Amino acid sequence: MPAQIALGLEYDGGAFSGWQRQSHQPSVQSELEAALSQVADHPVRTVGAGRTDAGVHATGQVASFQTANARPMRAWCDGVNALTSAGVKVRWARAVDADFNARFSAIARRYIYLYRIDEGRSPLGDPFTWRSPPLDAEAMRRAAQALLGEQDFTSFRAAGCQSKSPCREVRRIDVRSVANLVVLDIEANAFVLRMVRNIAGALAQVGRGERAGSWIAECLQAKDRALIGKTAPPHGLYLVHVSYPGKGFPPGGPPPLLAASGI
């Protein structure tokens, strides 16, 4: 009988055109499936909890797949890591119930967005943060509270979003300063296309003093994507954790720059 396996992943989004399999572009899913197929000795197809965009990083992505060939859990980790590039790593593997699906079994996703307060470029910081002038993190935090709860996020979803509904439930949102970083931390049951990056871009306008804090609530009520301006760049965004009821999977870690700051 086929076994269902869940994997915990981290990856450098800058090395890929996104999570989702694509015909002529490198993707995390394609590289992972190629390695898993070698370890399993049969073609493998995966399901990812979050379909991250090109340039978006992950420390807590979860994927699931079926296999007809039994392997020790450690073999899935070590075998895949020996076959993939330095940009992706399997952190853990767990046997799960046959009906487990990394995407549809999830009850929440948590993302962190990092703004780096710095006037100069940094070869180590720029690929993993959004370089910014000074931001008022407290003003951003207060404005962000308008996004809590189940609401219509039409103003914060990208054109071309294929979701049937723009409604999502934001369960937690916080903005804080850590060393030279401003950290946006958001958890929801799910996200519409580019929702976190659009929120990050809008909150940055509040943090720079270009918009009043009440503007976030006004944008939400207006249901008009054109109001909020540019989407924040992908390289500041991290998928850090996916929640599943009763699974007890290892938690995703903070982004490395944030961990280095002592949080």
pLDDT in tens, 200-214: 999 999 999 999 999
| Residues marked as catalytic | 53
| 183 band by pLDDT with thresholds 50, 70 and 90 | very high
pLDDT in tens, 42-53: 999 999 999 999
pLDDT of 263 reads 52
- Give the C-alpha separation, 254 to 58, whole Å: 9
Mean pLDDT on 160-173: 92
Give the chain's mean pLDDT. 94
Residue ranges and CATH numbers for the domains of the chain are 3-96 (3.30.70.580), 108-242+256-260 (3.30.70.660)
pLDDT of 257 reads 85
pTM of the complete model = 0.95
